[in-house]
Amino acid sequence: MSLLASLAAAAQLGATAPAAADLSEARWLAPDTDVLAFLTEAPGECLPATLRTSAAAQVEAGRALFRSPLIFGGPAARYGLSCNACHRDGRSNPRFFFDGLSGEPGTADVTTALFSASREDGVFNPRPIPDLVGAGAKKSLGSAGSFHDLEAFIDAAVAEEFQGDVEPSLVAALAAYLRALDPAACTGPRSIGLATALADFRRALDAADAALARADHALADALFLAALQDLQRVAERYRPLPALLSRIHAKAAELTSARRAAAQSPEAGRAALRRFRSGLADFDAALSAAQADSLYDRDVLAASLKR
Amino acid sequence: MKFTEAVAAALALCLTGSGAAAAPSSGPPAPSAPSGPQVNPQTSFEEGIAALQAGECKKAEKKFGEVLSIASRHAEANYYMGLAKTKCGKDKQAIKYFERAIKERENFVEAREQLALASIRLGDRAEAEAQRDAIKSIVAACTDETCDAPYVERAKKAAAKIEEALAPAPAPPAAEPPADDEPLGDQPGGAAAAAAFEPLFLTDGDAGAARYREAVKLINQQRYAEAIEDLYLAQAISGPHPDILNYLGFAHRKLGKFVEAKDYYAQALAMNPDHLGATEYLGELYLETGETKLARKQLARLEKLCPFGCAEAEDLARLIAVKESARAASTE
C-alpha cells in the first residue's frame, strides 16, 4: 500500500475502525492470540481439487453450510458460531477460546447448556477440538465414542448442541463434505484475502443453484443464507470504505430477492440467480480495486488492530 | 447460585463499603464523557458503585444520574441513586428513587427498607409501617423459587430493622437542603442513541457477563424462574444492558407474564432501538397474543436490520409461517 493510500485509509478508519472483535472471524479467540496472523492466514483445506462429479454438488453444499452460522439456532447462530469457527478449514483451531466453554485454548465443552437445550451434563469437560480430516472414515466418533455414524454425529451436533433445525439433506451435505476431506489433499497454510472470500461466496451460490436444480428447497434456502453470510464477512472487511460497503449491501438486497423468488419456485430462483451472477464481475472488480484500503490488506488491518 | 444471597452481597456493599470485587471494572471500552452524549451505562454504574463505597455521595449521584438518563427504570440504579441521595443528606429526593425501584420490582426488600428508614427520618412513620407490612405480606404470599430461604431471611431482617427504627420516639424532621426538589434524573430515550453496547454474551472476564451466561444456560434449559433471578443479579452487578432486559422479557413471556414481558422489551428497545433480540421476541409476543399484523411489522424491521440474514429474522419468519398455516388449516 502506498503512503498516501495508507494515510487516506487511516483517516477513514478514524471514524469507523472496528475493534478486532467486530470481525466475526476474530470473535472466538484466546486473549494472547496473534490476531493479525489469525485473520490473514488459515490452516488450509484438505479438499481434492477435482471430485467425482456425482458427489461434487453435495460436497460443495456441505462446504458452504460448514461455514454458515445460520444452520444453527439459539445463541450459536445469534453470535456467529459455525462449524468452521471451531474446525477451521475442516481442521482444528488451537486459538479457539470462549469463556465458559473452553478450558485451554483450542478446547470446547460440547455438553453444556450455553448453546444447547438438551446436552448439559453438569460437568465442565472441555475437549480438544479435533482435526476432521479422516473423521469420515472413523468407526466411532467423539471422545466418548458413542457415535458410530457420521450422519448421526452431525445430526446431534446441529440439533442438540447448537439448536439448529436439521433437514436430512443438510446433514447429508455436511457428511459428504467431511468424507471428501483427504489427508493427501492438504495444501498447508493459505492466506486469507478478498479472492478466497469471493471464491467461497461464488461456490455457495453455485451450490444453491445446484440444489434448486434438484428442487431441494430446504438445502437451497440454507445455501442462500450461507452465501449471504459469506458476503457479510466481506462487508466487515470493507467497513472502512462506505461507498463499497453500500455496494455490498445492495448486492445483499439483490441476493435476498433471489432467495425469495426461489422460495416461490426453483425456476424463478434460478433465473434470479443467473441475473445476480451476471453483475458479479463488475462487483468483484470494484472490490478488488479497493482491496488495498480494506481490512483484507495486512497493513490496514494491523493499523486497525492497534487502535 | 442463589440470586438472593449474591444480590444481598452486591447490595450490602454500598452500605458497608466492603467487597469491591463485586463491582467489576472491565466494561466495554467505550469512552464515558461526563456530560456529553457518550455515556456508557455499564461504566457509569460501576463508577457509581465505587463512589458509594468510597463515600463520595456527589460523584455517586452523578454517575447513577448518567445511568438513569439511559435506563430510567433500572431497579438497582434507582435504588443506588436513592442511597447516594441519602448519603448526601437528601432524604426527600431519595424517597422518590426508592419508590421507583419498588415500582419496578415489588419484592425489592432493600429498597423498601431504605424507603422506610428515610421516611422515619422525615417524620413519616406511617410510610415506614406500610413498608414493614408490605415486606411481611410479600414473604407470606410468596411460594415460588424466587422466595428461597436466604431471601426470606433478608426480608425478615429488613422488617426487623424498620421495626427497630420505629421504636424510639420520632426524631424531629431532618432539615432539608433547599435545592432538594429537583426532578428525577431521567430523560427516557435522551442519551440512548449514543450508548454503545457490546453483546454481553461475548464479554470476557466480567462478573455480570458471567452471570448473564448462567442465565442463558437456564433459559436454554427452560428454567425461566431461575433465569430471572440470575438476570436480576447480572443487572445488579453490571448495570442496565439491553441484552439483560431482553432476556428478562423472554423469561417472563415464557412464564405467561405478557405484561411484564412487553415492558422489558420496551425498555431494551428504548436503550437500543436496533436490538435484534428484543425486536424478534416482541414479534413473538405479538404472535402469542394474536396480533399477527404487528408481528409481521417486527419481521420487516428485522429484515431491514439484517441485510445479510440473521437468526432473529429467520426464527420469527418461521413462527409467523407456522401460525399462518395453522390458521389457514383451521378456516378451511
A231-268 pLDDT, tens digit per residue, is: 999 999 999 999 999 999 999 999 999 999 999 999 99
User: In Å, how far are B136, B141, B182 from B149, measured between CA atoms?
Assistant: 14, 14, 39
Contact call for residues A228 and B308 (beta carbons, < 8 A): yes
Contact call for residues B319 and B327 (beta carbons, < 8 A): no
CB atoms within 10 A of CB B82: 28
B121-177 pLDDT, tens digit per residue, is: 888 899 999 999 999 888 888 776 667 777 888 888 899 989 888 886 544 444 444
- Mean pLDDT for chain B overall: 80
Beta-bridge partners for A96 = A29
**Contact call for B314 and A75, based on CB within 8 A:** no
Residue of B nearest to A228 (CA): B308
Residue of B nearest to A232 (CA): B308
Amino acid type, A6: S
**Contact call for B220 and A74, based on CB within 8 A:** yes
Grid cell at residue B323: 401460525
Contact call for residues B119 and B134 (beta carbons, < 8 A): no
What's the confidence (pLDDT) of residue A74? Answer: 87
Average pLDDT over residues B98-114: 92
CB atoms within 10 A of CB B143: 7
Q: How far apart are CA B59 and CA B50, in angstroms?
A: 9
Has this prediction a pTM greater than 0.80?
A: no
Confidence band, pLDDT 50/70/90 cuts, at residue B195:
low
B272 burial level (CB within 10 Å; 0-12, 13-18, 19+): buried
Amino acid type, A113: A
Q: Does B315 touch chain A (CB under 8 A)?
A: yes
Q: How far apart are CA B252 and CA B266, in angstroms?
A: 13
B58-77 pLDDT, tens digit per residue, is: 999 999 988 888 888 899 99
B272-303 pLDDT, tens digit per residue, is: 999 999 999 999 999 999 999 999 999 999 99
User: In Å, how far are A103, B109, B180 from B184, measured between CA atoms?
Assistant: 46, 21, 11
Average pLDDT over residues A192-205: 97
Query: Any alpha helices (H) in A166-306, and if so which ranges?
Result: 168-180, 194-213, 217-237, 242-264, 266-278, 280-289, 298-306
Query: ipTM score here?
Result: 0.90
Q: What is the DSSP letter of B73?
A: T
Element at B192 (helix H, strand E):
none
A48-59 pLDDT, tens digit per residue, is: 987 766 679 999
A172 contacts: CB under 8 Å, gap ≥ 6: A58, A62, A151
CB atoms within 10 A of CB A275: 13
Radius of gyration over every alpha carbon of chain B, rounded to an integer in angstroms: 21
Q: How far apart are CA B227 and CA B248, in angstroms?
A: 8
Sign of CA dihedral A58, A61, A67, A68: negative
**Contact call for A235 and B202, based on CB within 8 A:** no
**Chain A partners of B277 at a C-beta cutoff of 8 Å?**
78
B247 burial level (CB within 10 Å; 0-12, 13-18, 19+): buried
Grid cell at residue B218: 437456564
* CATH class of the structural domain A44-185: mainly alpha
Beta-bridge partners for A141 = A147
Q: Does B58 touch chain A (CB under 8 A)?
A: no
Domain ranges of chain A: 44-185, 192-305
The partner residue sitting opposite A117, judged by closest CB among B201, B209, B220, is B220
Q: Does B277 touch chain A (CB under 8 A)?
A: yes
Grid cell at residue A199: 471464491
Spatial CA neighbour of A115 closest among A131, A129, A128, A98? A98
| Distance in Å, alpha carbon of B82 to nearest chain A alpha carbon | 35
A114-143 pLDDT, tens digit per residue, is: 888 777 888 888 999 999 998 888 888 887
Q: How far apart are CA B48 and CA A78, in angstroms?
A: 32
Q: What is the DSSP letter of A173?
A: H
| Distance in Å, alpha carbon of B53 to nearest chain A alpha carbon | 29
The partner residue sitting opposite A228, judged by closest CB among B216, B308, B315, is B308
